[in-house]
Structure formats: C-alpha cells, structure tokens
A and B are shown apart, each in its own frame.
Chain A
Amino acid sequence: MSDNKTILVVGGGMSGITAAVEAAEIGCDVYLVEKNPTLGGRVAQNNQYFPKLCPPSCGLEINFRRIKDNPRIHYFTLAEVESISGQEGAYEVKVKVNPRYVNENCTACGDCAKACSTEIPNEINYGMDTIKGAYLPFSFAFPLRYVISPQIIGTPDAQKCKDACKYNAVDLDMKPEIVDLKVGAIVWATGWQPFDAGKVEYYGFGKHKNVINNVMMERMASLNGPTKGKIVRPSDGKEIAGIAFVQCAGSRDENFLPFCSSVCCLASLKHSRYVHEQYPDAQIYIFYIDIRALGKFEDFYTEVAKDQKVSFIKGKVAEITEDPATGALTVTAEDQLSGKLSKETVDMVVLATGMVPATVQTRIPADVSYEENGFVLWDQNKRGIYGAGCVRKPMDVAAAVQDATAATLKAIQSTVRR
C-alpha cells in the first residue's frame, strides 16, 4: 500500500513538459527526466508551427515559466531512465544523470565557447553544421546553462574552457550519477525520430546533397539554424528558384513505414510559405498521394493553394536524379490527372519524411504494450505507465498537448487510492 502521489514524466519535449506542468499545477509532485541538455524536444527545433506560423519558443517561454514558478517540479536533464520496478502506485525508478561538465554556477556568459576551438557536428541542426565543443543549445534553452560535449573531455580544449570560466562553473571531473526515484505513476513521452530517408534508394538522400528532409528544412528556415534562416541549396548556397516537396517519402509504404505520420502534408504546406516568404517568385511543386489537412487545418491548405506559384501534382515521386555539373535535381512522378509522367527540374528537393517512435530504439524498461510499429498502447490491463504524444501515435503539436494532458490525468488516477 502506498500513497505515493508523485508522477514521473520521461521526456522533456512538448508532451513531457505539458504533462509535468499540468500535474504540478493540480498539486502533484513531478519528476521530469530529459535525455538532452535542454528541455524543448523537437518542437524547439521547429522554426514555426502550422497553421499560425508562430514560433515554438513563445509557448515554451510560458511553459518554462510555469516550471520555474512551480517548486513541485524537479527536472533532470542529460538524464535517462535505466530501470523501472514495482507496480502501479509504487514504482522504483533508477535514473542515470550523465555529466554536463558544467555546474549550477554557470551564468550563460559564453566565455567557455569563445575559448573552445574544437567544432563538433551539430545534432540540433541534424549535422548540417558544426558547433563548438562547449555550447549553449539555443538562446532560450532551459536550463540556461552551457554544456561541454563528452567529445572534447580529456582534450586540452576542455581545460581551456575550464580556464576561461570566471565562475568555476566547469567541472571536468563530473561523473554520471544514479538517482533513485519513488513514484506512483509514469508518463512516457519520449517522442520520435525522423525516418531515415537514406533507406529509400530512389530518393538519393545522403547521395545528392540537395535532397533534404523536412526536419532539415525546418532548421534551415530557423534563425538559429545552420544558415541563419536563409533557405539555400546545401551544395553551393545558391538561392532557390525551384523546389519540390515529395510527400509520403517512405511513409504509407510497407517497405519502410507503413503508417501515415499525419503532419507531413501540413509541414510541407508550411515550408512552401517559408520559401515564398524568402523567394516570392520561386516555383514550388508539391507531389502527393492525398493531402491530409484535416479539420480546420483545411483552411491552411486552402490559403497555400491560392498561391499561383505552388503546383500540386497527384502522383508520388519515385525517382530523383542529379545533374552532377549543376547539382540540380530532376524529380519524376506520374501526374495522374493528366495521365503523363511529370518531370520537373528544381534546385532542391524536400522529402516529407515521417516519424518513427522513440520506442523503436529505446524500449520502456517495463511491461508495456506496443503496436507493431513501436507506438505505445494504452492497455487497460497494464495501468501505471502511460504513453503520451508522438510516442503513442503520430500527431501535431496541439494534439500532443491534449494527449499529454489526458495521459497526466490517467497517471494521477493511478496514484489515487480510494
């Protein structure tokens, strides 16, 4: 018998943050565990949301404030759940907190980054550029604290960072710690990974430099991205005169992801707005099987469709060839309404790739039900651990917030003993 009303939230993206603040504001104690150095997850890597084209950092600002103002929330970053034991109402969880090599003295002044000379691939920008070995993930990171990458630990550069810090914030001897938590219920919100489009050979992703995927486009359009917000061709930085969006790239495809990821159509519509904001005369092609702009999102589709320079072609692209001399790409699809093959040559191709639930790579260390693609299922007979957000099914941000709110209530129910 336990009256443990504490809730553990695993994953500090939009769903996890929502679960944490909603639970804490009702009155629960909450532990929030995030594996990256900052909260925010993949939404923080978005430039804007559809349909309002508003910045994710705006909502995150409010949510971070709610976390700051609420003493019931204890969050751990660079942390992962190692093991879960127990049952609904009484779980014992071991969390491994990896070293940040920067302690709470950090004032985010940036001196360590200035002193550091090593550059490492920047995972936040999906490897499209590099970042210093001592870095702040982005200006609204939470906590606002620098990180020293394990890749430079042990090198002289790490010592340079330590020496540059005026506040004794760099601790190169930090070790991983294990934290033992006792909680009543768990909300698992670890989100998703972008599908690896390299698996679809006829797209040439990874071979042709100017074929990118939708999350990379999002970074490119972001002010804090690899090109400071300017959408240009990766091979030579050329401006965009023509661009093609390939919907269902590796999705709705039994050879890859058999399901639909729900948001990629809207994401491409959003991207076409980005492109036209920067290049009003660019010719945009969107190749689709079905445009899935459900409910009130239809308005967003209608708006984009009004744009004369956006052509919608019903037919999936199944071939992308590159002109090695210019880097230009030719995409081929069957334009089903005219019944002819459509070949368009463009500067850049964006593959609208889908979401793979994080549980494909990292299973929950407990008895939980999954459906065949790895998404976590709400199982009546396995209460206590609840999936929330995209780890449960592909969804847009507003739906993920609702889902997390619902999962939180279920978690609270698990802690209520009557």
Chain B
Amino acid sequence: MADSTIVKPDLDFIKDVKSLGGDSLKKCFQCATCSVVCKLTPEDNPFPRKEMIWAQWGLKDKLMQDPDIWLCYNCNDCSVHCPRGAKPGEVLAAVRNYSFINLAFPRFMGKILSQARYLPLLFGFPILLLLLMLRGNTIPSGPILFRNFIPYEVIDIAAGVFTLLVFIGLFTGTNRFWTILIQGIDGAPTLLSASKSYLIPVMSKILRHEKFNDCVANQIRYYAHLCIFYGFVLCLIATSISAGGIWAEKLFFKGNELFLPPWSFFSVVKVAGNLGGIAIVVGCLLVLYNRSVNKDKAGAGTYLDSVFTWTILCVAITGFLTQFARMAEAAFLAYLFYVLHLVFVFYLLAYLPYSKFAHMIYRTVAMIFAEYTNRKK
C-alpha cells in the first residue's frame, strides 16, 4: 500500500503536553468545529483539529514539525465552541510551550521554566545575585540615587553576561526550529536568507496586530496584546535612552547630571516609561480579567502564560512603585522596590529563550516560514 507512516505514540509527550496546559486534549472527538470556527485557519490545511488528534496520539515529531501551531493566536474561538470542552486553544498553547522546552538550549532550562516548583529557584537566583552585588551595602543616605545602591557597572557586567547567554540560547533554539520546519522541503533557504526576504512583511503584520483582530471570541485580546506590546516598546525606548544617557555621561559628558537619572517627570524617558508602564498594566489586567471570565470555556491559560503575564505586570508595578517611592523620598521602600524590579526584569529577560517570552522570536520565525511556504505555492 502506498506510503504508510509507522506510528509510535509517545506517552510521555502526552503527559507533558497535558501538564503544560493541554490537560483536556483527550476529550476531542474530531468533529472539526474548531477548524471551521478558527478565523486564522487556512482553507487548504486547516487547524487545529489535526493537531488535536496528533496530540492525542502522542505524535511528538509531527507536532514539533508543524508550523501551523504558530499560526494560532490563542484567541480561543475554538475552545469556546468546542462541543467536548477539549480546549484546542489551550492544547495548542501547551504544544507551543513544549516546543520551547524542546528547542531550549540548554535543555534543563526549558524544563525548569515550565514547572511551578522551580519558581523559588528561578527567583532565588537573581535575588542571590543582587545580594552579592550589594555586598553588605546598607541603604545609602541622602537623595535616592540607585546607582549608589548598586553601581551601574555591576549591572552592566551582569547584563552583558546574561545577554550573551540569552543570545546563545536563542540562536541555538531558532536554528533548531528552522531545521525542523524545513525538514523534507527540497531547496529550502537558510533562516538568514529567508529573513532577508520575508522579515519586512512579517514585521508589518506583527506591528499591525493584524491576526489578533481577526479573532472574534476574544476581541479584548487584541487590545490587551496591543497595549502590552507597545507598552513594552515604549519601556524599551525609555530604558535605552536612559542607558544611552548613562554611557554618554560616562564616556563623553562626565559629571553632567543632565545625562543621568533620576530624569525629570516630563522628560522623554519618563513620559515613554510611564506611558509604557500604564499600557503594560492595563494590558496585563485585561488579560487576567479575560482569562478569569472565560476560564470555563476557553481555559484559564497555561502555567507559562500565567507566569509571563504576572511577571510583566510585576515589572511594571514594581517600576511604578520604585518611582513613587523615590518621588515620596521613602528611601527604604524605593531601594526595596528597585531590587524587586530588577529581580522581575531579570526573570523576564534572562530566561527569555525558555519562557513564554520566547514566543516573540519563535513566532516570528514561524511567520517567516509561513510567508516562505505561501510564496512557494
């Protein structure tokens, strides 16, 4: 008979996907309501029905190789209408989470990030690091200047080291990912050349949040993600300008406090930072509210999603608290919140390749792949 594929279900994979948020995956009875209801599904190769049965059969390789799981925006239209409560939206999110682990380099990082019991370790590490950096310093007296508490150089060294590690992790992960995606395609380009060709249309789609808007059940998510995304961008701009200022002072304008924090409330840094922070808080609250309201039908979201949402929220909140404490001249609180803020920022950025945050890179790669395969047709 023509071409039969030998199937060997991987029971561990099923267990893993279930624990990563896809615990309802066995309920699916293959009616394909999800594939019809999904606004993002392509007509000639619809998802997520087939992903559901692959997940049920523990076909790990098929799923890891499937670019369609990244076409899903987890809007949960499918979960809301699923006749069996199988929550395909959650299952796909869980499979994506599994992907992070699967692609993670080093592998153990992927594993630790996906389980709640390692949270103490994950937070403990940056706290320890910061305590080391503090090296027994007490709270400085005088005006609240964070650089007096922890010198920028120390932070920069740490940032440098971890940025390098993050890049290694991301680089390895994305290359693995691309290799899996192009398996079986003759004459496929490298990730680099594909990015050259397709990155621009992909970025355009991302910036416009085009796909989010297509989903119906969860319009709130469009707004929420928009807020968080652009909030983040704003914060990134603010931080970059701030860092730029610090380095400029160090290198070119020694002693000129204009280039140093604390910035005036109406400075670009502050405006961008505060607006960004507000956007992030609003976005995260929308996300949390939406999840709790829809949790019966759509699911409350996976562990990785929750941690990510809360982490970003805490980054923003600790940021605001630090600012307010400083403005209120409550020294102890200001320094405390500053430390906490750094801890959350560390969690967010140092663990980027292994947490939900990695979706930023992996999704982009998947979208590049989708553009490539579409053009190929």
Report A's interface with B, CB cutoff 8 A. 202, 248, 252-256, 289, 315-319, 332-334, 336, 339-341, 343
User: Are A340 and B43 closer than 8 Å at their CB atoms?
Assistant: yes
Query: From B32, which residue of chain A is reached at the shortest CB distance?
Result: A334
- 9 interchain pairs, CB-CB under 8 A: A252-B29, A254-B83, A254-B84, A315-B31, A316-B83, A332-B36, A333-B36, A340-B43, A341-B36
Q: Which of A253, A256, A334 contacts B49 (CB 8 A)?
A: A334
Could you tell me which residues of chain B, from 1 to 46, have a CB within 8 Å of some CB in chain A?
29-33, 35-37, 41, 43-46
For B83, the closest partner residue in chain A by CB is A253
Shortest Cβ gap from B348 to chain A (Å): 37
In the complex, which residue of chain A has the Cβ closest to the Cβ of B37? A318
Q: Which residues of B contact A252 (CB under 8 A)?
A: 29, 31, 83-84
Tell whether, in the assembled complex, residue A334 and residue B45 are in contact, meaning their CB atoms are under 8 Å apart.
Answer: no
Q: Which of B31, B41, B85 contacts A316 (CB 8 A)?
A: B31
Q: Is the CB of B84 within 8 A of A202?
A: no
State whether the Cβ of B359 lies closer than 8 Å to any Cβ in chain A.
Answer: no
Nearest CB on A from B75, distance (A): 15
Report chain B residues within 8 Å CB of A319.
36-37
Query: Which chain B residues border A256 with CB–CB below 8 Å?
Result: 83
Shortest Cβ distance from B29 into A: residue: A289
CB distance from B168 to the nearest CB of A (A): 39
Instruction: Tell me how far the C-beta of A329 lies from the nearest C-beta in chain B, rounded to whole angstroms.
Output: 14
Q: Which one, A202, A255, A316, contacts B32 given CB within 8 A?
A: A316
Contact of B41 among A255, A289, A317, A341 (CB under 8 A): A341
B29 and A341 within 8 A (CB): no
Q: From B84, which residue of chain A is reached at the shortest CB distance?
A: A254
Main secondary structure of the interface of A (DSSP, over half): loop
Closest to A316 in B: B31
B81 proximal to A (CB < 8 A): yes
Q: How far is the CB of A350 from chain B (nearest CB, A)?
A: 18
A289→B30 contact, CB < 8 A? yes
- Given A289-B30, A340-B44, A341-B43, verify A334-B81 contact (CB < 8 Å): no
CB of B250 closer than 8 Å to a CB of A? no
Contacting pair B85 A254 (CB below 8 A): yes
Q: Which residues of chain A are near B30, meaning CB under 8 Å?
A: 289, 336
B44 touches A333 (CB 8 A): no
A253 to B43, CA, bound (A): 24
Residue from the set A315, A332, A334 with the largest chain B CB neighbour count within 10 Å = A334
The 10 closest A-B pairs by CB, nearest first: A253-B83, A318-B36, A334-B32, A334-B35, A316-B31, A318-B33, A341-B43, A315-B32, A289-B31, A332-B36
Please tell me if the beta carbons of B37 and A202 are within 8 angstroms of each other in the complex.
yes
Q: Is the CB of A339 within 8 A of B50?
A: yes
Instruction: A11 to B289: give the CA distance in the assembly, Å.
Output: 49
CB distance from A342 to the nearest CB of B (A): 9
Report if A334-B36 is in contact (Cβ < 8 Å); known contacts: A340-B44, A340-B45.
yes
Residues of A within 8 A of B41 (CB): 341
Would you call A334 and B83 a contact (CB within 8 A)?
no
**B33 and A316 contacting across the interface, CB-CB below 8 Å:** yes
For the complex, would chain B's binding face be called helix, strand, loop or mixed by DSSP majority?
Answer: loop
Cα separation A289 to B83 with both chains bound (whole Å): 12
A341:B35 contact, CB within 8 angstroms = yes
Report yes or no: B49 in contact with A336, Cβ–Cβ below 8 A. Answer: yes
Q: How far is the CB of A351 from chain B (nearest CB, A)?
A: 14
In whole Å, how far is A318's beta carbon from the nearest beta carbon of chain B? 4
**Residue in A closest to B34 when the chains form the complex, CB atoms:** A318
- Separation of A334 and B83 alpha carbons in the complex (Å): 15
Q: Is the CB of B29 within 8 A of A340?
A: no
B218 to chain A, nearest CB (A): 16
Q: A318-B37, A333-B32 are in contact. List 6 more A-B contacts (CB 8 A).
A: A248-B83, A255-B81, A256-B83, A316-B36, A334-B49, A341-B36
Residues of chain A within 8 A (CB-CB) of B29 are 252, 289
Q: Which residues of B contact A202 (CB under 8 A)?
A: 37, 81
Q: For chain B residues 278-316, which have a beta carbon within 8 Å of chain A? A: 297
What's the Cα separation between A316 and B49 when bound, in Å?
11
A334 cross-chain contacts in B, Cβ below 8 A: 32, 35-36, 46, 49
Question: Which of A253, A318, A339, A340 has the largest count of B CB atoms less than 10 A from its CB?
Answer: A318
Please determine whether B44 and A255 come into contact, CB atoms closer than 8 angstroms: no
A248 contacts across to B, CB distance below 8 A:
31, 83
Closest to B44 in A: A340
Chain B residues whose C-beta falls within 8 Å of the C-beta of A316 in the assembled complex: 31-33, 36, 83
**Nearest B-chain residue to A253, judged by Cβ:** B83
Q: Which residues of B contact A336 (CB under 8 A)?
A: 30, 32, 49
CB distance from B112 to the nearest CB of A (A): 36
Contact indicator per residue, chain B 45-60, by CB within 8 Å of chain A (1) or not (0) = 1100110000000000
In the complex, what residue of chain A is closest to B41 when comparing beta carbons?
A: A341
Q: Nearest-CB distance from B52 to chain A (Å)?
A: 11
Distance of A339 from chain B, by nearest CB (Å): 7
Q: CA separation between A286 and B28, bound complex, in Å?
A: 21
B30, B33, B297, most chain A CB atoms within 10 A = B33
- Closest B-chain residue to A256, C-beta based? B83
Query: Contact between B83 and A255 (Cβ–Cβ < 8 Å)?
Result: yes
Task: A341 to B46: give the CA distance in the assembly, Å.
Answer: 7
A318–B41 Cα distance when bound, in Å, is 14
B2 → chain A, closest Cβ, in Å?
15
Most chain A CB within 10 A, of B29, B31, B36, is at: B31
Q: How far is the CA of A315 from the CA of B297 in the complex (A)?
A: 22
A218 to chain B, nearest CB (A): 25
A245 to B72 Cα, complex, angstroms: 30
- Residues of chain A within 8 A (CB-CB) of B31 are 248, 252, 289, 315-316
Rounded to whole angstroms, the CA-CA distance of A332 and B43 in the bound complex is 10
The contact of B36 among A253, A254, A255, A317, by CB within 8 Å, is: A317
Q: How far does the alpha carbon of A202 sit from the alpha carbon of B32 in the complex, in Å? A: 14
Contacts of B83 in A (CB 8 A): 248, 252-256, 316
CA distance A341 to B35 in the complex (A): 8
Residue of B nearest to A250 (CB): B83
For residue B297, which residue of chain A has the nearest CB?
Answer: A255
**CB neighbours of B46 from chain A (8 A):** 334, 339-341
| Complex Cα spacing A340 to B83, Å | 20
Determine how close the nearest CB of chain A comes to the CB of B254; give it in whole angstroms.
Answer: 66
A254→B39 CA distance, assembly (Å): 22
Against A, the Cβ 8 Å flags (1 = close, 0 = not) of B63-96 are: 0000000000000000001011100000000000
B45 pairs with A318, CB closer than 8 A: no
- For A258, the closest partner residue in chain B by CB is B83
| Cβ distance B39 to chain A, nearest Cβ, rounded Å | 10
Contacts of B37 in A (CB 8 A): 202, 318-319
